[in-house]
Structure 1
């Protein structure tokens, strides 16, 4: 779960909803992308499905835990189960890409030296389990490392853009996007300070003149927090979901 504060009220956005936004971005990409890649982008946070149905409570914030507040000892087993679900539902290609995305997060952003022993062990166990599966599935599908690096990079890029759009990462934000020819280009996302929910992206990588992204979220009460876990759970059980939109437009050319 993550929280988007502007405009009010604060919106609690689930991990799968954030992933859906990432998938919407890739579905409008200027280059044709593999259907399995698009589905994996849509579902890259399948690990969080059960947690989002019953989120844990953070007494320090008076809200459900942000996904960043939970350590690998909690979410590495969830990731492994999510990959198993993806394999059962859609097969090796989607499961492989979700597995690679999880491994990328744990290798790029997780520092074992700063983790608790339980968290470090969870990361090590996840990678030890997933890497042989990744090799097995890639060989069975006949996928080259270049293809896998491209697809993994596309999901990581769309993930970062969606995190910023949903309020988890600050803007301006620069991300690396695979160019489909073995290289990368740098994209810059900026928020319009006068129009909450409107963002620019440059250079423009989509095939549409502008892109409206749609999802649903859970509005928090006006105070932005809950007195205790019971109040949070009552809200979560009965809150009316609110559709929200975000708009991406081309940024101004620099010259």
Structure 2
């Protein structure tokens, strides 16, 4: 979950699933051009992988654990080894949709696991790495040899992975809000493209991006979130605590 604490004992909660849907919408709206590279192959499957990359959070987010501050754990604060069942479920569910989608979700989660916080050397995490690296190599060999998946090779897989990482980054920054400084650094590169993304101080919930990579002159997202009171079990939240608000991306 993405948690925005307030000055009182409440927090605005955006689920990883909602963020994931937004990532898929960003991937769908991507438009290549002279300054913006596109996805070289299997664009529809890559967009679906972006949409489903956090599907593994479904069970956890129905009854999330509360952190010491009384709110559900923010995804940044959860020790990486607590993500293991989430990542495993995500791969298995995505694989059922299409093997390539499963592989892309697996590789995405491996990348996130590899950026683990220092000191998170839980033995289950090491075993997870080993198991997933083996599965990644096995699936990559299988799918790049599949005649039905033309143009799929290690390089195109790296590009697909980079594209999902980039759209995931943009969505996360928007969900975390323009008031919070990015904990991830600049947007990750994709096929030589290095986007610039900065909050627009003149507009609430708005970021500026350049070079502009989307269809139309702006990207608008109707965000859905929950107002959570500290220590209240998340499963007990009532519909009246759900709020909606508009997020935007505009050209720099």
TM interval, short-chain normalised: 0.7 to 0.9
| Mean Cα deviation higher: 163-172 or 19-28 | 163-172
Aligned pair count? 237
Partner residue of 2:186 out of 160, 174, 195:
174
Counterpart for residue 63 of structure 1: 71
Correspondence list, 1:156-171, <5 A: 156-167=165-176, 170-171=181-182
Q: Is the 8 A contact 2:79 2:120 kept in 1?
A: no
1:122-180 superposed Cα distances (whole Å, 9 cap, x missing partner): 333333344323332333335111211111111000111111111176249521342xx
Q: Distance in 2 between matches of 1:114 and 1:197?
A: 33
Q: Distance in 1 between matches of 2:7 and 2:49?
A: 30
Q: Distance in 1 between matches of 2:143 and 2:238?
A: 39
Q: Please report the TM-score for the alignment, with normalisation by the length of structure 2.
A: 0.82
CA drift of 1:234 comes to 5.4
Does 2:30 align with 1:29? yes
SS at match of 2:249: strand
Q: Is the 8 A contact 1:214 1:245 kept in 2?
A: yes
Q: Please report the TM-score for the alignment, with normalisation by the length of structure 1.
A: 0.81
Q: Which structure 1 residue ranges, 5 or more long, are not aligned?
A: none
| Mean Cα deviation higher: 126-135 or 147-156 | 126-135
CA drift of 1:68 comes to 2.3
Q: Is the 8 A contact 2:140 2:154 kept in 1?
A: no
Partner residue of 2:101 out of 94, 113, 116:
94
Change (3 A) 1:11 1:135: farther
Change (3 A) 1:114 1:76: closer
SS at match of 1:165: helix
Q: Is the 8 A contact 1:99 1:134 kept in 2?
A: no
Correspondence list, 1:88-237, <5 A: 88=96, 90-107=97-114, 109-110=115-116, 114-140=120-146, 141-142=149-150, 143-167=152-176, 170-171=181-182, 174-178=186-190, 183-221=191-229, 225-226=230-231, 231-233=232-234, 235-236=236-237
| Mean Cα deviation higher: 169-178 or 202-211 | 169-178
Q: Which structure 2 residue ranges, 5 or more long, are not aligned?
A: 33-37
SS at match of 1:220: strand
Q: Distance in 1 between matches of 2:135 and 2:153?
A: 21
Q: Is the 8 A contact 1:219 1:239 kept in 2?
A: no
SS at match of 2:193: strand
Counterpart for residue 35 of structure 2: none
SS at match of 1:70: coil
* Runs of 4+, deviation exceeding 6 Å: 6-9
